[in-house]
Amino acid sequence: SYVLTQAPSVSVAPGQTASITCGGNNIGSKSVHWYQQKPGQAPVVVVYDDSDRPSGIPERFSGSNSGNTATLTISRVAAGDEADYYCQVWDLSSDHPVFGGGTQLAVL
Amino acid sequence: QVQLVQSGAEVKKPGASVNVSCKASGYTFTGYYILWVRQAPGQGLEWMGWINPNSGGTKYGQKFQGRVTMTRDTTLNTAYMDLSGLRSDDTAVYYCAKVSGTSSLPPLGEAFYWGQGTLVTVSS
């Protein structure tokens, strides 16, 4: 079955740029969605279809996807961005969604 | 506005079953797939299965085959997830989520709308 790999944690200083990656075999051929989850809350979509941003999500959040890696980039990181971030694709061969293991973003 | 409202927290004994409901409003319930996803304490998101509210068709994760049943009542705009043979490691928050892809096609898209989550605690 399809596997998505994320680093368990990423640390960044306030005002800097955070890059959160999601690895998968030929993931560039799939649509990648990114979720932000804060403690005690349901996940929220921050980027969908590789690089689209829902209304209400700051322009600081952007996404890219090529080859075997998709990347969520958060520029000008603020304390309020501290959260767990999950990537997700659909495994079309089995018609089920696949989530990455999640990356905890720490703002130092 | 789209809303998914789940049933309240449950405490169950090992071996019991739990039924979690997910009432949808603000959109055409039969038009979009519903996912069920769980999250154990301190762990990541785990897909359990999906239901097509239009056809009633389901697909379950291999890990849950034989233990999970997903149904819907289109008259109540509500989806249900029943998990049997509960074990302590089934203790988790269970979420329903609406997928953006239409139910007339294979499931695709992001889960833009989520229920508030239902905590299921399994303890003797």
B21-68 pLDDT per residue, tens: 999 999 999 999 999 999 999 999 999 999 999 999 999 999 999 999
Q: Would you call A98 and B47 a contact, using CB atoms and an 8 Å cutoff?
A: yes
Nearest-Cα distance to chain B for A52, in Å, is 11
8 Å CB contact between A74 and A81: yes
Cβ–Cβ contacts within 10 Å for residue A56, how many? 7
pLDDT confidence bin for B101, thresholds 50/70/90: confident
**Residue B16 — φ and ψ, nearest 5°?**
-80, 180
Residues 62-81 of B with CB under 8 A from A: none
8 Å CB contact between B11 and B121: yes
8 Å CB contact between B16 and A74: no
Q: Which of A7, A8, A4 is nearest to A23 (CA)?
A: A4
Please count the residue pairs, one from chain A and one from chain B, whose beta carbons lie less than 8 angstroms apart. 61
Tell me how far the alpha carbon of residue B120 is from its chain's centroid: 12
3-state secondary structure of B16: coil
Write the pLDDT tens digit of every residue in A30-76: 999 999 999 999 999 999 999 999 999 999 999 999 999 999 999 99
Predicted local confidence at residue A1, as pLDDT: 87
8 Å CB contact between B30 and B51: no
Q: Is B46 on the interface with A (CB under 8 A)?
A: yes
Which tokens hold the place of A38?
């804060």
3-state secondary structure of B27: coil
Tell me how far the alpha carbon of residue A64 is from its chain's centroid: 10
Q: Is A99 on the interface with B (CB under 8 A)?
A: yes
pLDDT confidence bin for B108, thresholds 50/70/90: confident
8 Å CB contact between B37 and B110: no
d(CA A18, CA A20): 6
Nearest-Cα distance to chain B for A16, in Å, is 26
> Which of A31, A37, A96 faces B47 most closely, judged by CB atoms?
A96
Nearest-Cα distance to chain A for B48, in Å, is 9
Q: Is B45 on the interface with A (CB under 8 A)?
A: yes
8 Å CB contact between B118 and B5: no
